[in-house]
Amino acid sequence: MITTPQASSGGPYGRPQHPSRPQSAGEFLPACAHRITRRDLVLGAGGLFAAVTAGKWAWNSAEHFRRSEVFVARAESYGPWLVDLLQRGLTELGLSRKKVAGKSVLLKPNLVEPTVTAPHVNTHPAFVRAVVEAFRKWDAREVFVAEGQGHCRDTTFVLEQSGLERVLDDDKIPFVDLNYDDVFTADNRSRFTRLPKLYLPQSLRRADFIVSLPKMKTHHWAGVTLSMKNLFGVMPSACYGWPKNVLHHAGIGQSILDICATVRPHLAIVDGIVGMEGDGPIMGTPKHSHLVVMGTNLPSVDATCARLMGFNPENIDYLRNASGTLGPIQEQHIAQRGEAIAPLSQFFTLPDHPHFKQFRAA
Amino acid sequence: MNDSWINDLCRELLRLRDPGRGWGNRPGGSGYVEPTALAALALAASELPETRTELQSAVKDVAGWLSRLQQSDGGLGISPELPKPRWTTPLAILLWSAIEEGSMSRDKAVKWLLTQRGTTWEPTGQSPYGHDTRIIGWPWVDETHSWLEPTAMAVLALRRCGLSDHTRVRDGQRLIRDRAIRSGGWNYGNSAVFDADLRPQPAPTGMALLALSGVEDFDSPLIEQGCAYLESILPTTRAPQSLCFGTLALAAWNRRPAPADDWLMAAQPGAARRSNSIAELAYLLLAAGKRSLEFLGTTN
């Protein structure tokens, strides 16, 4: 059963709806002006059925009239200059110092594996630092980093080897190990899987803004791993295992949707400055894509990233199923801020194996 | 190892505990099974004469708390509020095996552990995985696949209880061998995917080597490569869990590095500052414990 997802009027910031969005589905229903006869009723019923069917088709193909905005920027490298770029993007998306001041911000990077030799596996520590700084400059009450990595139980080892520990210590950024956080159970809001409830870490309740900070990478099971797949790392491994096999058994694509629908993150900021192509999410090669992508609707962010990576979002299962339900993925329904997609789009390669053809199907 | 350092670590762990219940994931937090069993096991293994009475009293108290949490079928969950999953049970078995009063709880838990199985399947066509999906080990969560760490911990717990020749232990060791990465070492249990070898990690490598101690030859390539990986990675880390299982495993194979004590002591300040300080300090203490290898069901 699919429950009604949160309304998409630009997220929690109260922005005006997209100008092309109709006021309601009722606009598709015919009006009646004369005395109603039985013939009228029969014809009217048939007409009503046709109209409702047409309306439903229009509703679905128009992604339930959902619209969103995504900000795309080019960034040559990691460094303190990212802070201004990030604040510009946040402003374009409707955030401001007024909306962030006094708030608690949870940043969820992708620290899937402990590695010194392959820094393109994880969200870059300098990227995390810049995002922290961007929110701190806007007087957030607290900005903390939280991760529940699924491949390595030794969180200290992951933080150390990824280089993030040094940044956390130097900048005095609090860190929460979500794998060992106190948990609460939440009803699965979308039920794409058969999991009736999800265990979630209490730290989610502490945060006013939940921000997904993924790496832009290919993924050998999902096609791509971006802001939505990154939220697997919110699920406590003490409850789900290392790896989180419960979610794999339930279906990776379906689990991605359920987690996003239930956690309801507020923002995604994608580290695509150096991404990964090939055999992602851990054994691929660096892709110097020089991209930062931001948005308040995660399906829209991921769909935009997929296009930038040379993928058709309709070929990515979880994105196709997110369409309309969790947000728009069609390009005409996503208002592009910052740079245009076409000039920045790059072909992220996949391994030469029959399994990967599905992600590039025509 | 410096007895004074071990003594200080013991006192710090005791200070962080609320009497009458276990340790939490963080100081002041409500009790959880894993940090409790780990801390108590580490205290029991430290064997310091001057604090023996105090330590024994705390360990018994905590073992009793775990016994009261034990479910009717013998398994243990994550905490009093989270009865499942039950991957913590082998750690409790190791603790109960370390004290005289733990035998009833231990035997009940062993019976439960022997019934637990990871899911298996026959590969169809060309499997993308590098391991044999048909070998039965232990999962993290009921009705999921077997993985390296829960299997290694189950093997250690069952060996500690005198079941080294049990079929399940043999199968568990077979699984551990099968999940070894071709270049050396182990990780969470995926050796390769789509023909690409994945990366090893020190803590699972340590657990695997401990679980294979006494059943592999010293010069077997599996052991040589695993130990070589640990010898290369341990000097680069101050992560207590990795140092604990890494140094204990090398000790079990008579290759404990000379600077190991220095690494453990250097890791303590960072461990004490972190939010999960209890488990971190417990790993350091366990790594230094005089009877740790014995209490983990291994000998060198």
Q: Is A55 in contact with A29 (CB distance < 8 Å)?
A: yes
Determine the pLDDT at residue A7: 32
**C-alpha A333: how far from its chain's center?**
16
Determine the pLDDT at residue B1: 78
Closest partner CB to A245 (pick from B32, B141, B202): B141
Confidence of residue A73 (pLDDT cuts 50, 70, 90): very high
Q: At residue A293, does pLDDT exceed 50?
A: yes
d(C-alpha B80, C-alpha B217), whole Å: 42
Determine the pLDDT at residue A56: 67
Which of A333-337, B22-26, B68-72 has the least mean pLDDT? B22-26
Closest partner CB to A355 (pick from B78, B128, B271): B128
Q: At residue A10, does pLDDT exceed 50?
A: no
d(C-alpha A186, C-alpha B231), whole Å: 44
Mean pLDDT of B136-154: 98
Domain count, chain B: 1
d(C-alpha A256, C-alpha A244), whole Å: 12
Q: What confidence tens digit (pLDDT) does each residue in A149-159 have?
A: 999 999 999 99
d(C-alpha A319, C-alpha A227), whole Å: 11
Residue B123: is the preceding peptide bond cis (ω within 30°)? no
The architecture (CATH level 2) of A70-360 comes to: 3-Layer(aba) Sandwich (3.40)
Residue B128 in domain: no
d(C-alpha B137, C-alpha B172), whole Å: 5
Determine the pLDDT at residue B19: 80
- CA neighbours within 13 Å on the CB side: how many for A217? 30
Chain A hits for B238, CB-CB cut-off 8 Å, are 156, 160
Q: Is A289 in contact with A274 (CB distance < 8 Å)?
A: yes
Angle of the B3-15 helix axis to the B52-69 helix axis, nearest 10: 40
Determine the pLDDT at residue B56: 87
> What is the residue extent of each domain of chain A?
70-360
Q: At residue A24, does pLDDT exceed 70?
A: no
Q: What confidence tens digit (pLDDT) does each residue in A102-157 have?
A: 999 999 999 999 999 999 999 999 999 999 999 999 999 999 999 999 999 999 99
Average pLDDT, chain A: 87
Q: State phi, psi for A218 to the nearest 5 degrees.
A: -75, 165
Full residue range of the structural domain in which residue B40 is found = 3-121+133-295
Determine the pLDDT at residue A9: 28
Residue B178 in domain: yes
> In this structure, are strands B192-193 and A142-147 parallel, antiparallel, or unpaired?
unpaired
Mean pLDDT of B56-60: 91
Closest partner CB to A245 (pick from B34, B145, B279): B145
Residue B161 in domain: yes
Length of chain A as a residue count = 362
Do the chains contact at A283 and B30, CB–CB below 8 Å?
no
Confidence of residue A41 (pLDDT cuts 50, 70, 90): low
Would the pTM of this model clear 0.80, i.e. be above it? yes
Chain A hits for B270, CB-CB cut-off 8 Å, are 156
Report the percent of chain B where pLDDT is more than 70: 98
Domain at B143, CATH number: 1.50.10.20
- Choose the mutation target among B141, B142, B143, B179 for the interface with A, i.e. most A CBs under 10 Å: B141
Residue B203 in domain: yes
Q: In this complex, how many residue pairs, one in chain A and one in chain B, have their CB atoms less than 8 Å apart?
A: 105
- Nearest C-alpha of chain B: how many angstroms from A17? 42
Do the chains contact at B140 and A154, CB–CB below 8 Å?
no
Angle in degrees, CA A260, A262, A268, rounded to 5: 35
Which of A9-13, A117-121, B199-203 has the least mean pLDDT? A9-13
Q: At residue A299, does pLDDT exceed 60?
A: yes
d(C-alpha A113, C-alpha A331), whole Å: 33
d(C-alpha B300, C-alpha B234), whole Å: 20
Chain A hits for B274, CB-CB cut-off 8 Å, are 156
Determine the pLDDT at residue A63: 85
Q: What confidence tens digit (pLDDT) does each residue in B32-49 have?
A: 999 999 999 999 999 877
Mean pLDDT of B91-96: 98
d(C-alpha A314, C-alpha A58), whole Å: 18
Residue B77 in domain: yes
- CA neighbours within 13 Å on the CB side: how many for A262? 27
Share in percent of chain A as helix, strand, coil (round to 5): 40, 20, 40
Q: At residue B62, does pLDDT exceed 90?
A: yes
- Nearest C-alpha of chain B: how many angstroms from A306? 22
From residue B101, how far is each of A26, A126, A292, A315, B64 by CA, in Å? 72, 53, 60, 60, 9
Q: At residue A59, does pLDDT exceed 80?
A: no
Residue B139 in domain: yes
ipTM value, please give it. 0.97
Q: At residue A62, does pLDDT exceed 90?
A: no
Determine the pLDDT at residue A362: 59
d(C-alpha A269, C-alpha A94), whole Å: 14
Determine the pLDDT at residue B109: 98
d(C-alpha A276, C-alpha A281), whole Å: 7
